[in-house]
Amino acid sequence: MRVLFVVALLAVATGLGGCASFGSSAVSPAPPPGPATASAPTPQVTDAVDALGLVAYATSMQGKPYLSGGESPRRGFDCSGLVHHVFGQFNFEIPRNTAAMAQRLPSVDLADLRAADLVFFDTQGPRYSHVGIYLGDGRFVHAPSPRTGRVIISSMADQYWNQHLSGARRPSP
- Active-site residue 19, yes or no? no
**Active-site residue, selected from the candidate residues 19, 85, 142, 164:** 142
Q: What string of DSSP letters covers 44-75?
A: P--TT--HHHHHHHHHHTTTPBB-TT-EETTT
Q: Nearest 5°: phi and psi at 166?
A: -125, -5
CB 170 within 8 Å of CB 114: yes
- Active-site residue 142, yes or no? yes
- Residues of 51-78 as b/e, b for ≥16 C-beta within 10 angstroms? bbbbbbbbbbbeebebbeebbebeebbb
- Active-site residue 130, yes or no? yes
**Active-site residue, selected from the candidate residues 79, 84, 85, 164:** 79
Q: What's the start-to-end Cα distance of the chain, in Å?
A: 21
Burial class (CB in 10 A: 0-12, 13-18, 19+), 107: exposed
**Active-site residue, selected from the candidate residues 19, 85, 130, 164:** 130
Catalytic residue numbers read 79, 130, 142
